[in-house]
Structure 1
Amino acid sequence: MPETVAFFRPDDERAAEAAEIVESLGAEPLSDPMLAVEPTGAAPREDADFLILTSKTGVELADEAGWQPEGSVVAIGSSTAAKLREAGYAVDRMPETYTSAGLVGELEADAPGARIEVARSDHGSPVLTDGLNDAGAYVHETVLYRLIRPERAGESAIASAEGDLAGACFTSSLTVEHFLDAAADRGIRDEAIEGLNRAVVGTIGPPTREVAETHGIEVDVVPEVAEFEALAEAVVDRL
């Protein structure tokens, strides 16, 4: 019987895609969405020198708002870049490392005196905005959507507490926190962490790893590329 690997992507095409990837790797997918998108109705500014998008969701909302950027469009990574191109936008810049720190490194030489728009969720890392500010840019942030925990989230926490998880793929710091909150709501937080520590835990990048380890979760793998397919492959390979 295939070993069960949990993931926490929003309940849309991302969860369906993740399930297909995990299944193709020979594992049993357990989809437990820990994030739901609540749009704010705001639209990104259009008149900045550099306009940063950090997620496919942000691109979708910007496109729905009729966004027409005047400056250089910057994507945090290949998935966001692909969504931008699909929506008809040019992608002018993308960091080698798909993280907030990578974005700062990509733009810091151009930052002094530049107007930079950052359009993202309400849980965006301050590493990006603080880093660009420190580099001399005039940074404006637009919150396009809030990320909330769905009421039904928690199946994976139960599975972990009962010892039924072989692996877990955390794609953001917030998925870690929401997993633990869902476990706490059920009175099984410690048991769920113990279950994770008997399983193979993967995180999408170093910031997510740091949050997980702060809460006592032992992280086994972090892929070189911050994309779900690479994360799932790393977790299943370690099983």
Structure 2
Amino acid sequence: MTAPLAGRRVLVTRAAHQAGKLSEGLRAAGIEPVEVPVLEILPPASYEPLNHALQHLYSYDWLILTSANTVRAVTERAAALGLSLRDPGPHIGAIGQATAEAARQAGLHVTLTPESYVAESLVTALATRIRGKHVLLARATIARDVIPDALRKIGATVNVVDAYQNATPADSPGRLRAAIATRIDACTFTSSSSVIHLADVARNAGIAFPFPGVKAISIGPITSATLRERGWEPFAEATPHDIPALLAAVLRALA
């Protein structure tokens, strides 16, 4: 029996090491996932700030982890320094269930995970607990300043360190040209960075962005806002803001 969505093709823009779960879900529904990673995770320009922060982790009241990539970068760096993040230390706040799960798998005790995936929800959840506290915020090199700015307004002392940086894989333009040469029905976006990087890849490949006739499926409101800034109105937005809900949004959009 042919799956109802057989023959549909969906662009998956996640980093190669993170695309599996979404691609597998699409495949199970009869959809062909077309993986064009527009992000790859690289070390920060300098490890010195992160090293210093991890070596003085005892001086912080809270460690805020902003993504699963942040968890991976921080725990790998701590291991390289011979440090254990499992010892009693600061409270740990994680943005989103995927981040919290990555932290738990790394053996970390997560104190707080906001109900919503977006960064602003963490600020709201911390509002009554953070005044006068010292906070270490680990994140990508280029990231919004919503969290540190808001925490400082509440009265926290915040140290922001780069745990990793996003880059564009060298083969992305060629892979995108090949993907667009055959019909694409929808394109998934899991972060603002994925929008920005795909737009850059399209420009470098000589491809118009947004892609005409392609449905943009967004993981959440911040990603949707970035899509609109780039002239692409999201066809659907995942709720809650995670990969299973994103997959469900794709299936509904293509039904």
| Fold in common (TM above 0.5) | yes
Normalization by structure 1: what TM-score?
A: 0.91
Moved over 4 A (4+): 159-163
Counterpart of 1:52 in structure 2 is 64
Q: What's the secondary structure of 2:15's corresponding residue?
A: coil
Which stretch of structure 1 is more off in the superposition, 17-26 or 139-148? 17-26
2 CA distance for matches of 1:109 and 1:99?
18
1:6 aligns with 2:25: no
For residues 151-188 of structure 1, the C-alpha deviation after alignment (integer angstroms, 9 at most, x for no partner) is 11135743675561111110111111111111111222
Which letter does structure 1 place at the counterpart of 2:225?
E
1:128 aligns with 2:147: yes
2 CA distance for matches of 1:77 and 1:129?
17
Which letter does structure 2 place at the counterpart of 1:26?
G
Q: What's the secondary structure of 1:134's corresponding residue?
A: helix
Q: 1:117 aligns with which of 112, 123, 136?
A: 136
1:78 aligns with 2:97: yes
Q: 1:33 aligns with which of 32, 37, 43?
A: 37
2 CA distance for matches of 1:148 and 1:67?
28
1:193 aligns with 2:205: no
Q: 1:167 aligns with which of 160, 163, 186?
A: 186
Which letter does structure 1 place at the counterpart of 2:9?
T
2 CA distance for matches of 1:168 and 1:156?
14
CA distance 1:157–1:36, change in 2 (3 Å): same
Normalization by structure 2: what TM-score?
A: 0.85
Which stretch of structure 1 is more off in the superposition, 66-75 or 102-111? 66-75
2 CA distance for matches of 1:102 and 1:55?
14
Q: 1:101 aligns with which of 120, 125, 139?
A: 120
Contact 1:119 / 1:141 at 8 angstroms: preserved in 2?
yes
- Unpaired segments ≥5 residues, structure 1: none
- Unpaired segments ≥5 residues, structure 2: 1-5
Contact 1:201 / 1:235 at 8 angstroms: preserved in 2?
no
2 CA distance for matches of 1:215 and 1:63?
34
Q: What's the secondary structure of 2:172's corresponding residue?
A: coil
* Count of equivalent residues: 234
Q: CA deviation at 1:116?
A: 1.1
